[in-house]
Amino acid sequence: MNLQSLFEPKTMAVIGVSLNNDRHPANVIFNKNFLRYRVQVFPVNPRGGSFQGQTVFTSVFEIHRKIDLAVIAVRAEYVPKVIDDCIQAGVGGAAVISGGFAESGRSDLQDRITTSARDAGFPFIGPNCLGVYSPGLVDTFFIPIERMVQPGSGNVALVSQSGGILVDQMIKFATEGIGLSLAVSIGNKAMVNELDLLNYLADKADNEVIAFYVEGFRKNEGREFVKAAFNCPKPVVVLKAGRTPSGMKAVSSHTASLAGDYKTTSAMFSQFGVVEARNESELVSFCESLSCYQERIEGQIGIVSGSGGHGALAVDFCMDYGLIVPPLTEQTQKEIRESLSASVQSIAAIGNPIDLTGSAVDDDFVAVARLLGQIQEIDCIIMLLLPYLPGITSDLGARLSQISRQQGKPLIAYVPHVDKYRMLIEGFELNRVPVSPSIEGAVLMAEALKRRKPC
């Protein structure tokens, strides 16, 4: 099944464009792609006419171009006919935005379109979905452009059964500076499912991390998915809904999925090297960390801070997640103390965590990072930075990043995420060093590197 036309279309037909309702989902989709994307887009409505100065075609047969992607936003009962037309017209694939299928008790209608598509080898996303967001190429989400928060281009692909969860995660990705290569809302996943997308994305050079929000799998689907994830050369992150009986019931009513036994599914994820996120915050932290570093760590953490309290909390979180904070030898402590500026040399706590105190300056953090990077027993450094300390400058993020890159040892930073500290944060982000707005988030980023399967 060739999915390229779904995600890299050069031509697109939006079927269901309304001539009298500008807020119709099809109109929103047509407008944003017509005005802002490279894809050549054609409106379709059986009545014909004109829209935005463009000819409205009565069917896909009237468009005298090879159509890569059809976006279908018509009433559910009309979808089987539209799918058949697309197949006969040689369309490459479709995103079925329309709802009213298995999720609302119309499994028969969903089976009709799935059977036709499978027989013809015609791939479609959905139904009951938002479809595809491919940065700079296409956006089939029926969300007005002024309300969309779009992450920049990057190396994380995000697949979700829920369109709402997908949009929420995109907002969080944009806030945290995580770039997307592709976002796909699969809804009822009647044809194209997580396994299909995992196999497709595994071979895409612009993806380094593949993340999923999963509500449930059909019979045997979950086992095939985790086997493929195990063989995938890229880390796979999954946030699974339906962990409780009530959650399982909600999953069934949302996308007609079988949530399955959560404990069994979670154990299967762990066995096959899938990095499971327990909540949305973990999903964001895991994706950011894994998008920056490709090597697995054993989980021996060096912690550096300008505040003893921050260091103590970081140690607690490391213990919670099974990470090790090894003590430093007397010789290492001596070398660290001698490298510090005179103002903090006598007052810094040189153990692990290392508390440089509020009097530390950039050179102190840099010196400690360089020395810790040389210690074999430590395979990841967590740097807890307080940008309001008087000796800290906006260059520190970039300076620490350079040391990490030179030494090849993962560095993870904690910096409060407010606009005032943006230049410091950018110094890390531009050098592909992950930055968390919380101490626990920084520890979770290290946890992700420990839990990923070896390359």
Question: Smallest Cα–Cα separation from 133: which of 85, 174, 82?
Answer: 174
Name the percent of the chain lying above pLDDT 70: 95
The residue type at 315 = V
120 Cβ neighbours under 8 A, 6+ residues apart: 87
pLDDT at 228: 96
State residue 382 phi and psi, 5-degree precision: -105, 120
Q: Kindly report, residue by residue over 208-235, the tens digit of the pLDDT.
A: 999 999 998 888 888 999 999 999 999 9
Clarify whether residues 431 and 301 are in a common domain.
yes
- In Å, what is the CA distance from 6 to each residue of 112, 124, 171, 190? 21, 8, 23, 15
Boundary of a domain, candidates 292, 314, 331: 292
Distance CA 410, CA 285 (A): 15
| Beta-ladder partners of 56 | 49
pLDDT at 244: 56
pLDDT above 60: residue 366: yes
Q: What DSSP state is assigned to residue 46?
A: T
Clarify whether residues 301 and 445 are in a common domain.
yes
Length of the chain: 455
Neighbouring C-beta atoms of residue 374, cutoff 10 Å: 11
pLDDT above 60: residue 31: yes
Boundary of a domain, candidates 98, 128, 158: 128
Boundary of a domain, candidates 292, 326, 343: 292
Q: Kindly report the average pLDDT of the chain as a whole number.
A: 93
Distance CA 119, CA 318 (A): 52
Q: Kindly report, residue by residue over 311-347, the tens digit of the pLDDT.
A: 999 999 999 999 999 999 999 999 999 999 999 999 9
Neighbouring C-alpha atoms within 13 Å toward the C-beta of 330: 0
Distance CA 231, CA 233 (A): 6
Q: Is residue 49 part of a domain?
A: yes
Q: What residue spans of 293-434 are helical by DSSP H?
A: 308-320, 330-339, 342-345, 362-372, 396-407, 422-429
| Beta-ladder partners of 184 | 132, 159
Say if CB 84 and CB 60 are below 8 A apart. Answer: no
Across 28-50, average pLDDT: 96
371: Cα separation from own chain's centroid: 33
Clarify whether residues 368 and 302 are in a common domain.
yes
Across 84-108, average pLDDT: 97
pTM of the complete model = 0.91
Clarify whether residues 257 and 324 are in a common domain.
no
Clarify whether residues 415 and 304 are in a common domain.
yes
Question: Smallest Cα–Cα separation from 325: which of 299, 347, 307, 344?
Answer: 299
Distance CA 42, CA 35 (A): 12
Q: Is residue 137 part of a domain?
A: no
pLDDT at 245: 56
pLDDT above 70: residue 33: yes
Clarify whether residues 303 and 378 are in a common domain.
yes
Going by their DSSP bridges, the two strands 349-350 and 354-355 should be labelled as: antiparallel
Q: Is residue 231 part of a domain?
A: yes
Clarify whether residues 109 and 175 are in a common domain.
no
Q: Any idea what the CATH number is for the domain that residue 367 is in?
A: 3.40.50.261
Q: Is residue 394 part of a domain?
A: yes
Joined tokens for residue 63: 């468009």
Name the helix (H) or strand (E) containing 382.
strand 380-384
Clarify whether residues 447 and 309 are in a common domain.
yes
Say if CB 379 and CB 344 are below 8 A apart. Answer: no
Across 161-166, average pLDDT: 96
Joined tokens for residue 354: 């290392």
CA dihedral over 290, 292, 294, 299, signed as positive or negative: negative
Q: Is residue 416 part of a domain?
A: yes
Say if CB 205 and CB 181 are below 8 A apart. Answer: no
44 Cβ neighbours under 8 A, 6+ residues apart: 13, 14, 15, 16, 17, 56, 57, 58, 59, 60, 63
Clarify whether residues 249 and 313 are in a common domain.
no
Domain range for 431 is: 295-451
pLDDT at 261: 76
Clarify whether residues 338 and 191 are in a common domain.
no
Q: Is residue 139 part of a domain?
A: no
Question: Residue 423 class from Cβ within 10 Å (0-12 exposed, 13-18 middle, 19+ buried)?
Answer: middle
pLDDT above 70: residue 297: yes
Name the percent of the chain lying above pLDDT 90: 87
pLDDT at 218: 86
pLDDT at 255: 47
Q: Kindly report, residue by residue over 130-153, the tens digit of the pLDDT.
A: 999 999 999 999 999 899 999 999
Three-state DSSP class for 177?
coil
Clarify whether residues 100 and 213 are in a common domain.
no
Q: CA-based Rg of the chain, rounded to a whole angstrom?
A: 25
Question: How many separate domains does the chain show?
Answer: 3
How would residue 418 be classed by pLDDT, with cut points 50, 70 and 90? confident
pLDDT above 50: residue 254: no
Clarify whether residues 304 and 351 are in a common domain.
yes
pLDDT at 1: 84
Q: Is residue 96 part of a domain?
A: yes
Q: Is residue 314 part of a domain?
A: yes
Neighbouring C-alpha atoms within 13 Å toward the C-beta of 333: 14
Q: Any idea what the CATH number is for the domain that residue 92 is in?
A: 3.40.50.720
pLDDT at 455: 57
Going by their DSSP bridges, the two strands 131-134 and 180-185 should be labelled as: antiparallel
Say if CB 369 and CB 304 are below 8 A apart. Answer: yes
